[in-house]
Amino acid sequence: MKSKYFLPLALLFLLTMAQACKKDKNITITTSLTDTTLESGNWKITLFKEDINDETIYFTDYAFTFNADETAIAIKSGSSQINGSWTTSQDDTKIKLVLNFTPVNSFDKISNDWEVQTVSETKITLRDISGGNGGVDYLYFEKI
């Protein structure tokens, strides 16, 4: 008699687990999720890749803060402060993060409208497809 109920219960369990796993992987990215995440602490750039060139080195000493009033600050340890702004928007089905920093050093390179790829409590990944040459740039922020 036990075998009569085992297969249906096992199938029900597997279907339930598959559905639960599917929901975890398909978190919907929204502007409010992106805003809340950015405002939740200090961030560092762990990847800035312009086409095929890794240019992360220009930002490794900076800590970024994204304030609720849509101002942004990048502070270099023991040195200078770069001021900027940020906002999120939805363009068709894509969530965009628009960054604007004072054009100092390489900050003009990250001042752009970035497509949000992933958002978690500790990491935000962004990309931009250039209109001119079709190259792809990547920008990753990780919580400090």
For the cut 70, the answer to whether the pLDDT of residue 27 exceeds it is no
Determine the Cα–Cα distance for residues 142 and 93; give it in Å rounded to an integer.
Answer: 24
pLDDT of amino acid 3: 55
For the cut 70, the answer to whether the pLDDT of residue 87 exceeds it is yes
- Average of per-residue pLDDT across 125-129: 95
Percent of the chain's residues with pLDDT above 90: 66
Domains of the chain: 28-143 (2.40.128.270)
pLDDT of amino acid 30: 92
Residue with tokens 């497509």: 115
Quick one: the chain helix, strand, coil %, rounded to 5? 30, 45, 30
Kindly report, residue by residue over 42-54, the tens digit of the pLDDT.
Answer: 999 999 999 899 9
Mean pLDDT of the chain: 85
Note whether 51 and 139 are within 8 A (CB).
no
pLDDT of amino acid 14: 46
Q: Give the pLDDT band (50/70/90) at residue 79.
A: confident
For the cut 50, the answer to whether the pLDDT of residue 120 exceeds it is yes
Residue with tokens 């960054």: 99
> What pTM value is reported for the model?
0.79
Which one, of 46, 38, 54, 123, lies nearest residue 87 by Cα?
38
Q: Give the pLDDT band (50/70/90) at residue 58.
A: very high
- Average of per-residue pLDDT across 77-82: 84
End-to-end CA distance of the chain: 57
Instruction: Output DSSP code: residue 70.
Output: S
Determine the Cα–Cα distance for residues 84 and 66; give it in Å rounded to an integer.
Answer: 9
Residues forming beta bridges with residue 115, ordered by sequence position: 96, 127
pLDDT of amino acid 18: 46
Note whether 13 and 5 are within 8 A (CB).
no
